[in-house]
Amino acid sequence: GAVVSQHPSRVICKSGTSVKIECRSLDFQATTMFWYRQFPKQSLMLMATSNEGSKATYEQGVEKDKFLINHASLTLSTLTVTSAHPEDSSFYICSARSPSTPYEQYFGPGTRLTVT
């Protein structure tokens, strides 16, 4: 149980375009989802916390107008990178928390974004 999927797994886009990444909890309802970014050979850095039906909470230094997060249902959160630039190229990973195991976070497989 507790499976989280992400789509797409890889995406290449041109500078200035927008990209949407989906994160789904497949077998549980996730009231809270988290979005992380991981640059090569670095740690995971939290970008934002997403609660179903409310606005996301962004970490300091993360532009909320650039990284749009929507958590419209208990099984789906989306991250849209708007006006992408090469410096946005990174590994984006979501995680979800199940009410039945409130401490543990279940990670998606990640999305490799390359902006050319």
Binding site residues, another protein, CB under 8 A: 34, 42-46, 49, 91, 93, 95, 97, 102-105, 107-110, 112
The one-letter code for the residue type at 58 is Y
Is the Cβ of residue 38 or residue 70 nearer to another protein in the bound state?
Answer: 38
Burial class (CB in 10 A: 0-12, 13-18, 19+), 33: buried
Is the Cβ of residue 51 or residue 82 nearer to another protein in the bound state?
Answer: 51
Is the Cβ of residue 56 or residue 81 nearer to another protein in the bound state?
Answer: 56
Shortest Cβ 114–another protein spacing (Å): 13
State both tokens at 54.
């409310």
Distance from the Cα of residue 88 to its chain's centroid: 13
The residues facing 97 across adjacent strands are 32, 105
Shortest Cβ 102–another protein spacing (Å): 4
